[in-house]
């Protein structure tokens, strides 16, 4: 089932920041991503000393913690099948994040998201990111809407 959810993510390979989903239920999600050393954003951030930009850390947290969970919840609620003429489109409405550690190329991060509420199509989650030693990298609240949209041919 997790693979089915991953197939519905609306991102191409260079901007898809989800490798695995290890837990997924109506209350939350747990997944991981390993940052590739050859990713486009390391070339200039920072020259000679690459560090993962905060916006990428935020995106990883959002893709696993909000989008994956949102697709799962909408699928359960409305019977989304992901047919050829239908897709999911994530819309963020707000984030409030605290950063605690740097993330370097090659690091594997784990994201844990706990649903705060899902009603009227809006999802709010408390999301945390940890490194491989279980140290907190970042945490915060994410809100958004994951909409079903028809695909124009």
45 is an active site residue: yes
The pTM score is 0.91
State the CB neighbour count (10 A cutoff) for residue 2: 16
Q: pLDDT tier at 150 (50, 70, 90 boundaries)?
A: low
Distance, CA of 80 to CA of 136 (rounded, Å)? 34
Selected residue with higher pLDDT from 144 and 121: 144
pLDDT tens per residue, range 14-70: 899 999 999 999 999 999 999 999 999 999 999 899 999 999 999 999 999 999 999
Q: What 8-state DSSP symbol labels residue 78?
A: H
Asked if the model's pLDDT at residue 86 lies above 90, the reply is: no
Q: Where are the alpha helices (DSSP H) in 2-152?
A: 2-7, 54-62, 69-78
- Per-residue confidence (pLDDT) for residue 93, from 0 to 100: 86
Which of 8-12, 66-70, 80-84 has maximum average pLDDT? 66-70
Q: pLDDT tier at 11 (50, 70, 90 boundaries)?
A: confident
Asked if the model's pLDDT at residue 80 lies above 60, the reply is: no
**Structural domains of the chain in order of their starting residue, each with its CATH number:** 2-150 (3.10.129.10)
Active-site pick, 16, 41, 45, 148: 45
Within 13 Å and on the Cβ side, how many CA atoms surround 88?
Answer: 29
Mean pLDDT value of segment 77-82 = 64
Q: What 8-state DSSP symbol labels residue 13?
A: G
Phi, psi of 76 (to 5 degrees): -70, -40
Q: How far is CA 19 from CA 33, 34, 35, 102, 107, in A?
A: 5, 7, 10, 20, 13
Q: How far is CA 9 from CA 24, 38, 62, in A?
A: 15, 22, 12
- Per-residue confidence (pLDDT) for residue 31, from 0 to 100: 98
pLDDT tens per residue, range 88-129: 677 888 889 999 999 999 999 999 999 999 998 899 999 999
Q: Where are the alpha helices (DSSP H) in the chain?
A: 2-7, 54-62, 69-78
Distance, CA of 128 to CA of 30 (rounded, Å)? 10
Burial class (CB in 10 A: 0-12, 13-18, 19+), 149: exposed
């Amino acid at each position: 089932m997790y693979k089915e959810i991953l197939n519905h993510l609306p991102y191409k390979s260079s901007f898809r920041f989800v490798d695995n989903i290890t837990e997924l239920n109506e209350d939350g999600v747990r997944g991981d991503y390993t940052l590739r050393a050859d990713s486009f954003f390391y070339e200039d951030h920072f020259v000679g000393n690459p560090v993962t930009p905060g916006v990428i850390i935020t995106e990883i947290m959002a893709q696993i913690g909000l989008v994956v969970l949102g697709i799962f919840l909408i699928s359960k609620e409305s019977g989304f099948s992901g047919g050829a003429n239908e897709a999911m489109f994530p819309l963020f409405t707000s984030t409030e994040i605290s950063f605690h550690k740097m993330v370097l190329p090659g690091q594997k991060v784990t994201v844990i998201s706990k649903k705060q509420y899902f009603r009227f199509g809006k999802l709010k989650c408390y999301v945390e990111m940890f490194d491989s030693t279980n140290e907190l990298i970042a945490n915060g609240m994410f809100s958004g809407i994951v909409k079903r949209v028809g695909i124009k041919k």
